Amino acid sequence: MSASAVRRRVVAHGHVQGVFFRDTVRRRALELGVAGWVHNRPDGAVEAVFEGGPGAVEEMVSLCRAGPPQATVSDLECIEEQVQGLSGFEVR
């Protein structure tokens, strides 16, 4: 992880489970070289953490704000966090 890396935690609310949200996020993160994870929360939201270059991480945040075509994102929480040096990307 470079010194210019950033970390964002996002929580997407709305119709976001059962619509390939996690897989869409995973595939794009791997394409962009973004590290982190994504998972379905019990409250119906999808939560993800992204670490990487600022542009790539912001692209991931934008993807979550829109969601895949089948999703309807009603709200997206985005929190800046301290980089922890994650590697790889997983669906939890």
Domain CATH code at residue 79: 3.30.70.100
| Per annotation, catalytic residue among 7, 8, 22, 26 | 22
Name the burial class of residue 85, with classes exposed (0-12), middle (13-18) and buried (19+) by CB atoms within 10 angstroms of its CB.
exposed
Per-chain mean pLDDT for the chain: 96
Q: Is the pLDDT of residue 32 over 70?
A: yes
Active site residue 9: no
Domain that holds residue 23: 6-83
Whether residue 88 lies inside any domain: the answer is no
Q: Is the pLDDT of residue 2 over 90?
A: no
| Per annotation, catalytic residue among 28, 40, 41, 65 | 40
Q: pLDDT tens, 47-63?
A: 999 999 999 999 999 99
Active site residue 40: yes
Question: Into how many domains does the chain fold?
Answer: 1
pLDDT of residue 80: 97
pLDDT of residue 92: 94
Question: In percent, how much of the chain has pLDDT > 70?
Answer: 97
Q: Is the pLDDT of residue 7 over 60?
A: yes
